[in-house]
A and B are shown apart, each in its own frame.
Chain A
Amino acid sequence: GAGVSQTPSNKVTEKGKYVELRCDPISGHTALYWYRQSLGQGPEFLIYFQGTGAADDSGLPNDRFFAVRPEGSVSTLKIQRTERGDSAVYLCASSFTSQGTEAFFGQGTRLTVV
């Protein structure tokens, strides 16, 4: 595709449920990033993949959050036992390499936990 694609665009879930958010990066981009953006704030780093491996997961807030990228392309962010505080826009970005190249963001998934 032409850009980074994220699905779903909106997700409403009940507290305690499990959710999966999907990111399709730009073809050929080896680096993939997940960010979380709360209302009125800048994006906050969660995790970064270089290829299939998580190169840096230092931004994941707790062990309810997990992400995978099994084939080095599509990534899924998984949130277990969702809490109302998880409500935010989850942004995915990809770049051709991890250093020195522009990061392109997707439109995000707006997650609302009720």
Chain B
Amino acid sequence: GENVEQHPSTLSVQEGDSAVIKCTYSDSASNYFPWYKQELGKRPQLIIDIRSNVGEKKDQRIAVTLNKTAKHFSLHITETQPEDSAVYFCAASKGGNKLVFGAGTILRVKS
């Protein structure tokens, strides 16, 4: 079955700097890659997603890139703000919402 690995497990950045989180997946049939943000004690919320027919997608300060050949995808957050501090999860699926999640990255933005 699918296996998703996520790095780093923790990431500290200075406010205003960029943050990059990377994930790899094992199943070449996976074609949907969402990213979720989860604040402490709260529900996971979708922040951006990408499908395998696209190499990059951007939404304001957030972007995701996908390399199908290498089977990896990355989340890029620019101009980080304290409210970006949270746990970020990548996930992969074969198109639906039966998702295989990575272990998560704790992002701390220091002001």
Q: When each residue 21-59 of chain A gets 1 if its CB lies under 8 Å from chain B and 0 otherwise, what string results?
A: 000000000010101000011111100100000001000
Interface-lining segment among B38-46, B54-62, B63-71: B38-46
Measured between beta carbons, the chain A residues less than 8 angstroms from B89 are 42-43
Closest Cβ–Cβ distance, residue A71 to chain B (whole Å): 21
How many B residues touch A, CB cutoff 8 Å?
Answer: 22
Measured between beta carbons, the chain B residues less than 8 angstroms from A44 are 101
CB-CB nearest in chain A for B1: A58
Interface-lining segment among A62-70, A77-85, A99-107: A99-107
Q: Is the CB of A45 within 8 A of B43?
A: no
Majority-rule SS of B interface residues: strand
How many A residues touch B, CB cutoff 8 Å?
Answer: 26
* Cβ contact of A42, chosen from B42, B96, B97, B103, cutoff 8 A: B103
Q: Which residues of A contact B (CB under 8 A)?
A: 4, 31, 33, 35, 40-45, 48, 56, 91, 93, 95, 98-108
